Structure 1
Amino acid sequence: MRPLRFVALGDSLTEGVGDPAGDGWRGWAALLADGLDPAVDFTNLAVSGAQTRDVLERQTPAALALRPDLVSIVIGVNDTLRCTFDIHAVAARLDKAYAAFRAQGTGLLTACLPDPGSMLGLPGSLARPLARRQRAVNTVVHALSERYEAVHLHASEGAWLMDRAMWSADRLHPSERGHRQLAVRFHALLAEAGIATGTEPSAEPEFPVPTRSASLLWLATKGSAWVARRCTDLLPQLVALAMAEIRHKARGTSGRLDLSASAAVASALAALTVGEQPEAA
């Protein structure tokens, strides 16, 4: 009998940024893999900077070829940081990716994520548009996770978001402790579903917490560049979005922006093919 085969898809979060190991990254998915089964075959296809398009067009075909028993798809934050953000496209891509794995009989692992604006501590007029986008992505992920019977982690809320020890210097990626928290929470859900039979990952860091000077050095030399690469094309649009926030707030019509975003999400979900949930192969 072959070992349980687990494949992780996504962006820098799943790649493991914030949890250094040697010359690379480890991350929550690798920590989780060790607790899934006494014998596990783990492949991490996540790539820093990936968007939903990358997951659907590049990572999904590679993962399907491995015929995994379990696949994690945790993605969406990079989509919200681009001027090309389109919740209709995000929903359609995730729907296709989820459906492809379920048609192959693969178990799905998903998560909703915190919005980057609040994590970065941006001013309200800048943070609210990003929060609105992330809420839209999370709503889609919630709906599709239910449709495809995924094991879903609510990672967009909870005390862990405010615990500075859970986050790396850039405030966007978990620290080792944060990655372990994700692994522990995912493991609990999978154990409840009868999928994880191995030992629960440890919640305590294996390595010393980076010093403040080391964290600031990383942020100055690498972290800031990471943020700049992800959202350079968003900045002009974000300024326009912030101005719209300010105008609506002054007029007392801020609720219209939320209603418009909710309507877009409803439209995106309604546009997806309606039918029976795919049966496992």
Structure 2
Amino acid sequence: MTGTAPSCTRYVALGGSQTEGLGDGDDSTGLRGWADRLAGLLAVPHPGLQYANLAARGRLAGQVHAEQLGPALALRPDLATVVAGVNDLLRPRFDADEVAGHLDAVFAALTAQGARVATLTFPDVARVTPLARPLGPRVHALNSRIREAAGRHGVVVAETADHPAVTDPRLWSADRLPASPLGHARIAAAVAHALALPGSDGSWADPLPGPPVRPTALGELRWAAGFLGPWIGRRLRGRSSGDGRTAKRPGLLPVLPAGPVPPSGGTQGAVGGRDRSVAPW
């Protein structure tokens, strides 16, 4: 898709682990993630773009509303992305209407201030992890309410929920909760396409080359022992992976633009002046 993108000088990302960048890098070398990647893409038509990322892993929609909205408004973004709700639907007591209420309030406040806002829908986790099949109705309920709230406030929605490619295991990290680096790159490309960013298109939804490797029964048991069990243990102790975490990029900082896509399919770009490679598909 091509087009003339509205002026954008300040981009602020709100959300949880996906937006923080979990699964794309690590805590010792630094996390990247789809929002960082999107910032690099945005900086191509918007030289001088500044970017802040207020997201932190483990945050529920109510926490995003309470903790991140105020700082985001203070930064007066031209563009904001808001991605929240998955941590809520993983909890035993999930209320889709309550989650939607928080998202609606965040959408309303940002758009009322003049920001362009984008969000996305979520794939059915049962298509990634068969043991998560009971969560399917929750995902559909959450997506429905995201669309409704977005429609009320003119929020752009990247519809990533229903494309078969998004449940390819290669787009997910080993614990199947955050995306892999390739998955983060696809999310960034999907949001760029939804925003009609010049040079973006729908190829983010194309299937990956070759057949996906689906989990075996043994693989499911190993995943449950290695990742699901510890996650349940934290919930029973009232703990979260985000305890003590703060925003990795709380203030607006410059972004270097992502470079052109070379024949290999990768690009070069930087966020905050640090060179990193980008593979948008």
Secondary structure, counterpart of 1:47 in structure 2: coil
Cα RMSD, aligned residues only? 3.1
The answer to whether the 8 Å contact 2:13/2:52 transfers is yes
Partner residue, 1:143: 148
The answer to whether the 8 Å contact 1:35/1:199 transfers is no
| 2:41 is the counterpart of 1:35 | yes
Overall identity of the aligned pairs, in %? 38
Shift of 1:159: 2.4
| 2:58 is the counterpart of 1:44 | no
Shift of 1:23: 2.2
Q: Distance in 2 between matches of 1:33 and 1:198?
A: 14
Partner residue, 2:264: none
Partner residue, 1:98: 107
CA pair 63-231 structure 1, distance change in 2 beyond 3 A: same
Structure 1 or 2, whichever has the larger Rg, is 1
Shift of 1:170: 1.1
CA pair 169-99 structure 1, distance change in 2 beyond 3 A: same
Partner residue, 2:242: none
The answer to whether the 8 Å contact 1:8/1:71 transfers is yes
Secondary structure, counterpart of 1:38 in structure 2: coil
Ranges of 4+ aligned residues in structure 1 off by more than 6 Å: 219-222
Partner residue, 2:32: 26
Q: Distance in 2 between matches of 1:185 and 1:67?
A: 24
Give the aligned residue type for 1:160. Answer: A
TM-score by length of 2: 0.67
Partner residue, 1:160: 165
Task: Tell me whether 150-159 or 223-232 shows the greater mean CA deviation.
Answer: 223-232
| 2:232 is the counterpart of 1:228 | yes
Shift of 1:93: 1.1
The answer to whether the 8 Å contact 1:119/1:172 transfers is no
| 2:11 is the counterpart of 1:6 | yes
Q: Distance in 2 between matches of 1:225 and 1:11?
A: 21
Q: Distance in 1 between matches of 2:111 and 2:189?
A: 24
CA pair 164-20 structure 1, distance change in 2 beyond 3 A: same
Shift of 1:65: 0.6
Give the aligned residue type for 2:68. Answer: Q
Partner residue, 2:21: 16
Query: More helix by proportion, 1 or 2?
Result: 1
Q: Distance in 2 between matches of 1:233 and 1:85?
A: 18
Q: Distance in 1 between matches of 2:167 and 2:157?
A: 21
Q: Distance in 2 between matches of 1:141 and 1:225?
A: 30
Secondary structure, counterpart of 1:35 in structure 2: helix
Shift of 1:51: 0.8
Q: Distance in 1 between matches of 2:233 and 2:77?
A: 32
TM-score by length of 1: 0.67
Partner residue, 1:127: 133
2:74 to 65, 88, 93: 65
| 2:144 is the counterpart of 1:115 | no
Q: Distance in 1 between matches of 2:229 and 2:77?
A: 34
Shift of 1:114: 1.7
Partner residue, 1:275: none
Residue by residue over 1:94-140, the C-alpha shift from the partner in whole angstroms, topping out at 9 and shown as x without a partner, is 11111101110011101011233442221xxx623x11111111100
Give the aligned residue type for 1:136. Answer: A
